[in-house]
Amino acid sequence: MALNDDYLDYPKRRHGYDHDRYDWSMLGERPPITWPGGKTLAVWINISLQFYPLNQRGEPFKVPNGMTMPYPDLRHFSLRDYGNRVGIYRVLKALKQHDITPTFAINAQLAEQTPYLVRRLQEHGGEFIAHGWNMDHLHYGGQPIEEEAELVKRSVQTLRRVTGQSIRGWLSPAKHQSFNTPDLLSENGITYCADWVNDDLPYVWKTASKNTLTMMPLSTEIEDQFVMSQNLHSEDAWVTQVKDAFDFLLEESRTAGGRLFALNLHPWLVGQPHRIACLEEVLAHISGHAEVWQAPAGEILDAFTHAEQA
Amino acid sequence: MKESLGVYDYWAYDQRPKIEWPGGAKVAFWVAPNIEYYELDPPQNPSRKPWPHPHPAVPGFSIRDYGNRVGHQRQMALLDKYGIRGSVSLSTALCEHHPEIIQMCKERDWEFFSHGIYNTRYTYGLSEAQERAMIRDSMETIHRHTGQACAGYLAPALSHSERTLDLFAEVGEELFGSDGGLYTCDLFHDDQPTPVRVRSGKRFISMPYSLEMNDTIVYAVNKVEPRQYATMLKRHFDRLYAEGAESGTVMCIPTHNYQVSCPHRIKAFEEALAYITGHPDVWVATGREIADYYLKHYFDAALDSMAVQAATAGREA
């Protein structure tokens, strides 16, 4: 039996997108921008700190890097916990060596349960952004809006309470959203979101509220877990890819205008003894360039907004 | 269901009439950028899910949007640099969604061929009339926006029916006579163009469009490292170039602007383009140019050769 003829209806076949959430715009066609001090490449180093519950529900799907074995999957639970106990301190040391001010995306439940970790991150210095409740509380299409609204509110408020920071940024677990997520973020005072990887500069999103929400693309393609855990490439291959990406964006920024290099890292992965030197090599490579401006994501957003208005 | 589609006969690679490409080239080289539109919230198809998770599929949609917003112009700049005109495998709804991209390609005299309307609308489950209507819509859209008679087809998301090739050839003939509906990229059985039987009897061929060299297959399915992809492309070329001295071969690099154009991959792609176009006996062409040349000079000889091979095998049996 054939499909209904409405399978060949295309009600949103029109200029722009098949949705109304942001404007169609090609990066190469926009006026060039510059970062503070005339710099051309902004560097955002994002450290994702995550809690993967042992009693994973997997609703509506099992999160990548989560539990895969029958309960209790102690191997994956404790390997992920390693990042928050051991890996993060290696990562912080490496960041300190290169004088990098990171952005910490942290699950709110982890922040609440490990105040000592939060204090150490505060002592190091950097911006906290919300990373949902935990890695088993996904945001997804079909999720009841009341449930998601409560989840967003609880995550943001908890993180504000335990860090004392205003919390302007958001990264969804596994970068998954429902159609309501951006509106809910905006209602909760979030001004930028890192989920959509469709640009090499920030761009403005359309929400139901009067607050402005900006999408700050945090590249998935070069992040440690994507290259080494999903693609199963070697540590050395990851270093090469990150360096190649950085070199390309730096070169493009010299002629085409400001660009954003955003690197997401997971201490449970890159904080392992055999991988940490690779991170150090990457950080050494991206440090010491006259055209590079390294800052937390919120400062990059502010500079972008300022540059757009200039 | 059939055991074999039966649209071409067995024809041994090393016993064919010699192909000589224009200018004595050994390899006809073409690049096929797929310029695609995946819908954020497409309808479900009983045979295949458009996205792995509940919609909106933010990770999948947004990286493909990166290709159109950012990657396309990067790839185009590289192809300009090495004197390559793309042969675009086009989700034709892109003519409506992103005409700015179409305009840039038109200005460069690139070719456009049909890759369906959306890459999230599959052929599976369509009746013959529905599939014909979809193909016709896609070819008319290309003609309306570019003035081109569509010569080639790559089914959307490589979703086929048993009648796909027949329908494409027929609609091409209806719309454009012998100027349209000439080649399919859906068969991966050869390194040279080969005649393909369609029910209308139209002179129709398969054009090599290597799935093995397709960046999405390489990166997303086989999970190859970027620099290894450059090595693979160079090795693929080296062998086809050497064999092309005996009889001309075809090399295609099918690309996606959200794969090769990413900052960590574009250097490797450029290395391969520089290497290939740095050789003297390479005919840098489009899919249609290769198809036209083959149809004019070698199609009939190919049919004769296949008949001879079949008859010889019959005598020996």
A192-251 pLDDT, tens digit per residue, is 999 999 999 999 999 888 889 999 999 999 999 999 999 999 999 999 999 999 999 999
Q: For B310, phi and psi rounded to 5 degrees? A: -65, -40
Domain ranges for chain A: 44-234+264-277
Kindly state whether B62 is in contact with chain A, defined as any CB-CB distance less than 8 angstroms.
yes
Would an 8 Å CB–CB cutoff place A144 in contact with chain B? no
What is the mean pLDDT of the segment spanning B102-121?
A: 98
d(CA B294, CA B283): 13
Residue contact A140–B227, C-beta within 8 A: no
For residue B201, the tally of other CB atoms under 10 A from its CB is 8
Q: According to CATH, what is the number of the domain A44-234+264-277?
A: 3.20.20.370
Pick left, alpha or beta for residue A303 (phi over 0 → left; psi -120 to 50 → alpha; otherwise beta): alpha
- Phi and psi angles of residue B133, each rounded to the nearest 5 degrees, phi first: -65, -40
CB contact at 8 A, B97 and B69: no
pLDDT of residue A209: 82
Can you tell me the ipTM of this complex?
A: 0.97
Tell me if chain B has a CB within 8 Å of the CB of A28: yes
Give the residue extent of every domain in chain B: 22-316
Q: Binning pLDDT at 50, 70 and 90, where does residue B96 land? A: very high
For chain A, positions 255-274, list CB contacts with chain B under 8 A: none
What is the C-alpha separation between B283 and B290, in angstroms, rounded?
Answer: 9
Rounded to 10°, the helix B266-277/B72-81 angle is 20
Tokens standing for residue B293: 């040349």
For B197-217, what is the mean pLDDT?
A: 97
How much is the mean pLDDT over chain B?
97
Question: Residue A208: what pLDDT?
Answer: 86
pLDDT at B206 over 80: yes
How many CB pairs below 8 A link A and B? 154
Per the listing, tokens 């398969």 go with: B206
Locate tokens 């529900």: which residue? Answer: A57
Mean pLDDT on B182-209: 98
Are B43 and A242 within 8 A, CB to CB?
A: no
Confidence band for B312, pLDDT divided at 50, 70 and 90 = confident
pLDDT beneath 50, residues of chain A:
none
Indicate the pairing of strand B249-256 with strand A103-106.
unpaired
> Do the Cβ atoms of A18 and B41 come closer than 8 Å?
yes
User: B234 CA to chain A: closest CA distance, Å?
Assistant: 19
**d(CA B6, nearest CA chain A) in Å:** 24
Residues B85, B110 contacting (CB under 8 angstroms): yes
Instruction: Tell me whether residues A2 and B125 touch, CB distance under 8 A.
Output: yes
Interchain contact, B55 vs A141, CB within 8 Å: yes
Mean pLDDT score of chain A: 97
8 Å CB contact of A237 and B225: yes
Supply A249's token pair: 């964006």
pLDDT score at B315: 67
Q: Is B15 exposed, middle or buried (0-12, 13-18, 19+ CB in 10 A)?
A: exposed
Nearest to B56 among A141, A237, A245 (CB): A141
Please give the span between the terminal C-alpha atoms of chain A, in angstroms, as a whole number: 59
Neighboring chain A residues of B103 at a CB cutoff of 8 Å: none
For residue B202, the Cα-to-chain-centroid distance in whole angstroms is 19
3-state DSSP helix/strand/coil % of chain A, to nearest 5: 45, 15, 45
Q: Which CATH number fits domain B22-316: 1.10.10.350, 3.40.50.300, 3.20.20.370, 3.40.50.720?
A: 3.20.20.370
Banded model confidence at residue B317, pLDDT cuts 50, 70, 90: low
Both tokens assigned to A108:
């709110």
Local confidence band at B316 (pLDDT 50, 70, 90 cut-offs) = low
Enumerate residues 29 to 58 of chain A having a beta carbon within 8 A of any beta carbon in chain B. Answer: 29
Position of tokens 């391969």?
Answer: B272
Query: What size, in residues, is chain A?
Result: 310
- Determine contact: A247 vs chain B, CB below 8 A: yes
CA distance B75 to B110: 13
Q: Find the helix or strand (DSSP H, E) in which A254 lies.
A: helix A235-256
